[in-house]
Chains A and B, each alone.
Chain A
Amino acid sequence: MEQDAQLVQQCLQGDGSAWEELVRRHSRRIFNICYRFTGNGGEAEDLSQEVFLRVYRTLASYRSAHGGFATWVTSVTRNLLIDHYRRTKRDRMTDSLDDAMPVVENKESAGRRPDQQLLLNELSSQVQTALTKLSPELREAVILRDLQQLEYIEIQRVLSVPEGTVKSRINRGRIELARILQQMGVRPS
Chain B
Amino acid sequence: MIWTCEQIEARLSDYLDDAMTRNDRVSFEAHVGDCPRCAPLVAHLSKLLTSMHVMEQIEPPPRLIYSILDKTLGKREAVTGWRAFFGWFENISGMRLAYGALSVAGTFAILLSVLGFNFSKPKLADLRPTTIYRNADRQAHLVYAKGTKFVNDLRVVSEIQSRLRQDNDMPTSQEGVVPSREKQPGQTDGSKPTSPRQQNRANDLSHQIEILADELPVWAGHLSIPVFAREMFANSMVARRQP
Q: CB within 8 A of A146: which of B9, B52, B57?
A: B52
B30 within 8 A of A: no
- The segment from A2-10, A67-75, A90-98, A166-174 that touches chain B is A166-174
A52 to B69, CA, bound (A): 9
State whether the Cβ of B215 lies closer than 8 Å to any Cβ in chain A: no
Are the C-beta atoms of A45 and B58 separated by less than 8 Å?
A: no
Bound Cα distance from A178 to B41, whole angstroms: 7
Binds A, one of B42-50, B91-99, B166-174, B191-199: B42-50
- Smallest CB separation, A105 vs chain B (Å): 6
Q: Is A16 an interface residue (CB 8 A)?
A: yes
- Which of A21-29, A78-86, A153-161 forms part of the interface with chain B? A21-29
**Which of B41, B51, B54 counts the most chain A CB atoms within 10 A?**
B51
Q: Is A109 an interface residue (CB 8 A)?
A: yes
State in angstroms the CA–CA spacing of A48 and B58 once bound together: 13
Expressed in whole angstroms, the minimum distance between the Cβ of A106 and any Cβ of chain B is 4
B71 CB, min distance to chain A CBs, angstroms? 5
> When A175-B12, A189-B47 are in contact, do A52 and B57 touch as well, CB less than 8 Å?
no
Contacts known (A35-B58, A175-B45, A178-B44); A48 close to B68, Cβ less than 8 A: yes
Complex CA–CA separation, A187 to B44 (angstroms): 7
Say whether chain A's binding surface is mostly helix, strand, loop, or mixed: helix
A27 with B57: CB separation less than 8 A: no
Q: Would you call B1 an interface residue if the criterion is a C-beta within 8 Å of the partner chain's C-beta atoms?
A: no
Contacts of B13 in A (CB 8 A): 167, 170-171, 174
Q: A56-B72, A103-B58, A171-B10 are in contact. Are A48 and B53 (CB under 8 A)?
A: no
Stretch at the interface among B20-28, B59-67, B230-238: B59-67
Q: Which of A19, A45, A146, A171 contacts B73 (CB 8 A)?
A: A19
Say yes or no: is A129 at the interface (Cβ < 8 Å to chain B).
Answer: no
